[in-house]
Amino acid sequence: MNAAIAARPAGGSTVRRALPWIGLVVRLGLAAVWTFAGWEKATNPAQAAQAVRAFDVLPESLVEPVGYALPYLELGLAALLIIGLGTRIVAGISALLLLVFIAGISQAWARGLAIDCGCFGGGGPIAPDQTKYLQEILRDIGFLAMAGWLLFFPRTRFSADAWLAIEDDDTH
């Protein structure tokens, strides 16, 4: 009886101690996703713009600014995730961006547009039998889960957030 009671807090604190480590892995994983996605697009801005155009949602005047800004925004998110600054806010923005992507792919799918999402570079109209909407959406949902984890457990090891909050943690 006593042993059982004593074991519970010990187990709980193990989990609590593991959380920031899991958080670190998730944070760096999401950073890798954004780095890769941003880099592929940043090296070819015109193609990124064409990928945005192919979704056929935005008016033409917004297509190029959005197409050009998006890769750098993704790289910015990656950089913030790597240093671990504002993890919760960055996770929130990441989740929002991923939801927009999922919505974009879904509407293209529903409308029967034949496009490649251009998620990691590439993009634009392709042959109807080469669309991979389901895989693209499932993959984005996986990334969304990572962002969601960080939204709920933003405390991670080796992060600027932890460093900035050092006094705070001492007194607790």
Partner 1 sequence: MSKKNDDAKRSARERMQVERERQRAADKRKRALIVGGSVVAVLAVAATIGVIVGTNKSNSSNTSWSSVSDKPLKLPTGMTSTVVPYGSNPNAPVLTVYEDFRCPICDQVEGKLGATMQQMADAGQIRIDYHIASFLDKNLGGNGSKYAANAAACAQDAGKFKAFHDVLYANQPDETNDKFGKNSYLLELAGKVDGLRSPTFDACVNDLTYAPWVKASQEDFNNAKVAGQKVTGTPTIALNDQKVQYVANNQVMSPDAFKAQLEGIIAQTPKS
Q: What is the DSSP string of 26-86?
A: HHHHHHHHHHHHHHHHHT-HHHHHHHHHHTT-S-HHHHHHHHHHHHHHHHHHHHHHHHTSS
Amino acid, single-letter form, for residue 66: V
Say whether residue 19 binds partner 1 (CB under 8 A): no
Q: Per the structure block, which two tokens stand in for 58?
A: 């935005």
Binding residue for partner 1 (CB under 8 A) from 64, 99, 109, 157?
64
Q: At 115, is the secondary structure helix, strand, or coil?
A: strand
Angstrom distance (rounded) from CA 88 to CA 115? 33
Match 């957030």 to its residue by tokens. Answer: 161
Least distance in Å: CB of 9 to partner 1? Answer: 25
Q: Which stretch binds partner 1 (CB under 8 A): 1-9, 15-23, 79-87, 133-141?
A: 79-87
Q: Which is nearer to partner 1, 26 or 91 (CB)?
A: 91
Nearest to 156 by CA among 2, 47, 29: 29
Nearest to 82 by CA among 142, 160, 163, 143: 160
Say whether residue 86 binds partner 1 (CB under 8 A): yes
Least distance in Å: CB of 104 to partner 1? Answer: 14
Q: Which is nearer to partner 1, 2 or 168 (CB)?
A: 168
Site string for partner 1, 105-124 (x = CB under 8 A): --------xxx-------xx
Least distance in Å: CB of 2 to partner 1? Answer: 34
Say whether residue 85 binds partner 1 (CB under 8 A): yes
Binding site for partner 1 (CB under 8 A): 42, 44-51, 54, 56, 64-65, 67-73, 75-77, 79-80, 85-86, 89-90, 93, 113-115, 123-129, 161, 164-165, 168, 171
